[in-house]
Amino acid sequence: MEWKEAPPPPSLPFVALLASGGHTAIYRVDGLELSHVTELGATRDDAAGEAFDKVAKLLGLGYPGGPIIDRLAREGDPRAIPLAQPMSSRATLEFSFSGLKTNVARWVSLHGRPGDDQTLRDLCAAFQTRVVETLVGKAVRAARQEGVAELVLGGGVAANRQLRERATEVAARHGIRAIIPPLWSCTDNAAMIAYAGALRLLRGEDDRGRLEMHPRTALLRVTRKGRGRR
């Protein structure tokens, strides 16, 4: 497992690409308060990590799909199987990955699940390359449009090897520094949630007065209601 120190913090303002199982968006960050963050583009349907998981399920690879596809793609040829580039228009910074997922599903419907290892690797490489090129292309374009010199990656998909390499390479080509967290900080939202809570605490905010019952009691009641219990 890669265990490296976190890179130096970015200078404000910067552009951030958040790519995970539940989110895919690009933000301009002028400060650490929510009011200082501006969304520049987001996914219209599936998040990038969600697309990885759904494609992995289509191919019978298990869950979570991202690490498995990333590993197989290393030995595949992304040009061997033609897949459409998802929402490649330069006119927008928004994303859409459902069409790419459908493209893979259609290929599987026509050809069946890959019957040999190399075809499986090629299909994974083709899918992953389309996702990565879309993420990197739009993120770097956003940084250039906003006139900022730093691009920050975050979210679980930021652990993807190809994404990390391509973001660094393409950003540098345009004079932009890609700031990519170490792998150990790309796998869980706990640190993000704790940091957000710390900022609220420093502002004197307190949620305890809003709770009508202990959280565990509330969870039990919701669970029982969902199961048709009283």
The residues spanned by each domain of the chain are: 14-187, 194-226
Q: Is the per-residue pLDDT at 187 higher than 80?
A: no
DSSP of 55-77, one letter per residue? HHHHTT--SSHHHHHHHHHTTS-
Q: Return mean pLDDT, the chain.
A: 85
Tell me what pLDDT residue 4 has: 57
Tell me what pLDDT residue 195 has: 73
Average pLDDT of 30-50?
A: 91
Q: Mind listing the pLDDT tens digit for each residue in 80-132?
A: 999 988 887 778 999 999 999 999 999 999 999 998 999 999 999 999 999 99
Q: Is the per-residue pLDDT at 213 higher than 60?
A: no
Q: Is the per-residue pLDDT at 222 higher than 70?
A: no
Tell me what pLDDT residue 198 has: 82
Q: With pLDDT > 90 as the criterion, what percentage of the chain qualifies?
A: 63
Q: Is the per-residue pLDDT at 8 higher than 90?
A: no
Check residues 97 and 205 and name the one with the higher pLDDT.
97
Dist CA 38 CA 15 (whole Å): 9
Tell me what pLDDT residue 209 has: 55
Q: Mind listing the pLDDT tens digit for each residue in 123-137?
A: 999 999 999 999 999
Residues 6+ apart with CB under 8 A from 119: 80, 81
Q: Is the per-residue pLDDT at 220 higher than 90?
A: no
Q: How confident is the model at residue 10 (pLDDT cuts 50, 70, 90)?
A: confident
CA 204 vs. chain centroid, Å, equals 32
Tell me what pLDDT residue 208 has: 66
| CATH architecture for the domain at 14-187 | 2-Layer Sandwich (3.30)
Q: In terms of DSSP H, where are the helices of the chain?
A: 48-58, 65-73, 98-111, 117-146, 161-173, 190-202, 215-226
pTM, full prediction: 0.81
